[in-house]
Structure formats: structure tokens, C-alpha cells
């Protein structure tokens, strides 16, 4: 198992090194000038000496290789730079907004698991029945709905027509737990809809395949109850595709948070990233791209390791 984990970790490190280079290049080739955007509306914008002094302050007057070396060295030491738009330390901005986005992540994951796994099991056990058709239809709708459109519709239904939840905003949990829960119900549900639909479809198809295996039929022939057959013989072998979907969904939730946090006016990492893109705030953009990439790599590494524990054959092939 140690060799298997080591190989997967080496692959992840190589990919991370490539991503770091690409992140720096992508941030630099986006059209626009970060200094001009940050100084928009300032009287000093028309003074070339002031503009050059600000550009020198952020190291943007140096060559690209030098900028990359300086940024990477400082980033590895824990200095993520200073935001050109706000003047704050990027790491401080990240720490302030991370709990908000993490709460959305956890809530969306709970929604997807609570809805997707039971629905998938129901569809597999009631194959070709009305319940199975309802599960399949609901899963397809969940996967197909654009998150931003679903968010607007839910705001109209449950914040305007039926004022049950607030249409936007965020209240920290420790400031007011009840208001916090009311504020995150709609955005977490929207984020979890796509993942829940995928999860239901994969659970159904995976469980149907396992239920057709010889060892499951043998367990039934021995007189085990259907619940015991499902719990002891079918669920674990059918979990590999499920783990994959959960892992990939978690990796993609941050991208979904970009839209959701803007629509619901939530001050998380997604909203910060969108603001940084419009302002071409290099330090914030680079830090967030690295965080997103690292999040996806770590989730995929964890999924690979779980594969090895769930199915030893994966370790051998790996």
C-alpha cells in the first residue's frame, strides 16, 4: 500500500508543478493592466512617475522569469503577496473568507449525499418501477439545470413569492446560528443539486451491476434478508464509482461557488476570485488558482487511496 500511495503522490507533485507554471502564465496573459485597474479614478493615474512607482512596488516592472522566481519563493514561504486592488495580504483575505466557502462546500456535499445515495439505492432496488423512473428523471434534471438559473428561480420562489429564506447575504454561524442556516440553505442546495443527480445515477447503475453478481445470488440463496444482502454484500463493492463522483464533485464545487456566491452575495472565496479577475489582481488570482488546483489534486489523491482500501485489486494494478 505504501508503494501505491507513493506513486500516486509523485504523480500529484508532477501535475502540481505544471499547474504552478500554467497559473502564473495564465494570470499574465489576461488582457488589461492591473495597476491601471487599481488606480482607476485616481488623479495620480495621469502621472507616469506615480504609475511606475506603484508598478515597481508590486514587482511588475521586472522580467517575467524574475517575477515568477520571486513569487514562487515567497509563496512557498507563506507570503502570498499583497492584493493590488485592496492592499490587504492575500493570505489574510483567504483565511477570512475560507470558513464561508467551506460551509457551502460541506452543506452542498451533505445535500448531495443525503439525496443522491438513497435515491440511487431506491432506483436500483425498484428497477423499472415508477420510483425508478422518478429517480432517473430527477437525476437527469439535477445534472442538466444550470446553477445560476436554478439559483434565480429558487430565490424567486422561496425568497420573493414565499419569503421563507433570505434572497442574499450571509451571517456567520457563531454570530447567529439560525440566521446562518437560513442564509445557506438555498446556495448549498443549488451547489449540491448537480452532484446529487450524478451520485444518484452512479449509485443506481453501480448497485444494479453488483446485484447481478454470483456472490449476491448465493447470499440470497442462503436465506439472507434483502437488507442484509444489500448492506453486507452489495454496498461496499459498489462504492468505488460513488467515491469517484463524491471526489470529483468536491473538486468542482469551488468552481460552482464562483457563480453561487455572486448570485447570493456571499463573501466567500468565489466572490473574491471573481472580483480579482475583473480587477486583474495578480496576487489574488494566482493564489486562488493554486488553491483550486491543489484542492482538486488532493481530492483525487484521496480518492485513489480510498480505491486501494476498498478494492485491493486496484493496489495491485496500480
Look at 193-202, 258-267, 283-292, 296-305 and tell me which has the smallest mean pLDDT. 296-305
Mean pLDDT along residues 144-153: 88
105-132, pLDDT tens digit by residue? 889 888 988 988 889 888 888 888 898 8
pLDDT at position 1, please?
Answer: 64
Euclidean distance between CA atoms 124 and 203, whole angstroms = 8
Residue 256: which of 199, 187, 197 has the closest Cα?
187
* Cβ pair 237, 158 in contact under 8 A: no
Q: What is the 3-state secondary structure (H, E, C) of 73-116?
A: HHHHCCCCCECCCCCCEHHHHHHHHHHHHHHHHHHHHHHHHHHH
CA 153 to chain centre: 22
Residue 234 backbone zone (phi > 0: left; psi -120 to 50: alpha; other: beta): alpha
Sequence ranges of the chain with CATH classification 1.10.3720.10: 91-317
Q: How confident is the model at residue 312 (pLDDT cuts 50, 70, 90)?
A: low
List Cβ neighbours of 97 (8 Å cut-off, separation of 6 or more). Answer: 267, 268, 269, 271, 272
CB 282 within 8 A of CB 27: yes
pTM: 0.80
Has residue 189 got a pLDDT over 90?
A: yes
Residues 137, 150: Cα–Cα separation, whole Å: 17
Predicted confidence (pLDDT) at residue 186 exceeds the cutoff of 90: yes
Q: For the segment 19-46, what is each residue's pLDDT rounded down to a tens digit? A: 888 888 887 777 777 777 666 656 556 6
> How many Cβ atoms sit within 10 Å of the Cβ of residue 169?
12
230 SS3 class: helix
Spatial separation of the C-alpha atoms in residues 159 and 165, rounded to whole Å: 5
| Residues 300-306, mean pLDDT to the nearest whole number | 76
Q: How confident is the model at residue 317 (pLDDT cuts 50, 70, 90)?
A: low
Average pLDDT score over residue span 142-147: 86
Map residue 145 onto helix, strand or coil.
Answer: coil
**pLDDT for residue 254:** 67
Q: What's residue 313's pLDDT?
A: 57
Name the average pLDDT for the chain.
Answer: 82
Question: Per-residue pLDDT tens for 228-261?
Answer: 777 776 776 767 667 777 777 776 676 677 788 8
Sign of CA dihedral 91, 92, 93, 97: positive
Q: Are 199 and 142 in contact (CB under 8 A)?
A: no
**Residue 225, pLDDT above cutoff 60:** yes
The confidence band for 157, taking pLDDT boundaries of 50, 70 and 90, is very high
At 76 the pLDDT is 86
Q: Could you report the per-residue pLDDT of 196-213, keeping only the tens digit for each?
A: 888 888 888 888 888 777
Q: How far apart, in whole angstroms, are the C-alpha atoms of residue 197 and residue 193? A: 6
pLDDT at residue number 49: 78
Higher pLDDT, 318 or 132: 132
> Is the domain covering 91-317 a CATH 3.40.50.10320 domain?
no
What is the mean predicted confidence (pLDDT) over 38-60? 71
Span 101-108, average pLDDT: 89
Amino acid at each position: 500500500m505504501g508503494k501505491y500511495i507513493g506513486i500516486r503522490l509523485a504523480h500529484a507533485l508532477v501535475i502540481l508543478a505544471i499547474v504552478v507554471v500554467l497559473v502564473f502564465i495564465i494570470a499574465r496573459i489576461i488582457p488589461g493592466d492591473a495597476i491601471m485597474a487599481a488606480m482607476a479614478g485616481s488623479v495620480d493615474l495621469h502621472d507616469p512617475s506615480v504609475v511606475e512607482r506603484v508598478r515597481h512596488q508590486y514587482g511588475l516592472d521586472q522580467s517575467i522569469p524574475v517575477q515568477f522566481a520571486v513569487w514562487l519563493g515567497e509563496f512557498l514561504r507563506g507570503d502570498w503577496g499583497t492584493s493590488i486592488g485592496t492592499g490587504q495580504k492575500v493570505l489574510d483575505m483567504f483565511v477570512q473568507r475560507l470558513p464561508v466557502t467551506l460551509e457551502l462546500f460541506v452543506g452542498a456535499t451533505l445535500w448531495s449525499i443525503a439525496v443522491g445515495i438513497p435515491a440511487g439505492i431506491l432506483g436500483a432496488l425498484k428497477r423499472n418501477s415508477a420510483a425508478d423512473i422518478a429517480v432517473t428523471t430527477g437525476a437527469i434534471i439535477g445534472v442538466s439545470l444550470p446553477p445560476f438559473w436554478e439559483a434565480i428561480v429558487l430565490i424567486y420562489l422561496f425568497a420573493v413569492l414565499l419569503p421563507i429564506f433570505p434572497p442574499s447575504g450571509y451571517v456567520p454561524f457563531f454570530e447567529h446560528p439560525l440566521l446562518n442556516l437560513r442564509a445557506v440553505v438555498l446556495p448549498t442546495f443549488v451547489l449540491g443539486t448537480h452532484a446529487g443527480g450524478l451520485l444518484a445515477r452512479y449509485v443506481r447503475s453501480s448497485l444494479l451491476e453488483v446485484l447481478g453478481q454470483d456472490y449476491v445470488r448465493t447470499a440470497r440463496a442462503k436465506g439472507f434478508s434483502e437488507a442484509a444482502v444489500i448492506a453486507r454484500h452489495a454496498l461496499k463493492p459498489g462504492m468505488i464509482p460513488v467515491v469517484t463522483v463524491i471526489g470529483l464533485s468536491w473538486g468542482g464545487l469551488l468552481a460552482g461557488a464562483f457563480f453561487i456566491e455572486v448570485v447570493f452575495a456571499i463573501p466567500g472565496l468565489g466572490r473574491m476570485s471573481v472580483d480579482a479577475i475583473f480587477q486583474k489582481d495578480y496576487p489574488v488570482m494566482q493564489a486562488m488558482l493554486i488553491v483550486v488546483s491543489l484542492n482538486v489534486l488532493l481530492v483525487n489523491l484521496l480518492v485513489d487511496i480510498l480505491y486501494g482500501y476498498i478494492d485491493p485489486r486496484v493496489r495491485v494494478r496500480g
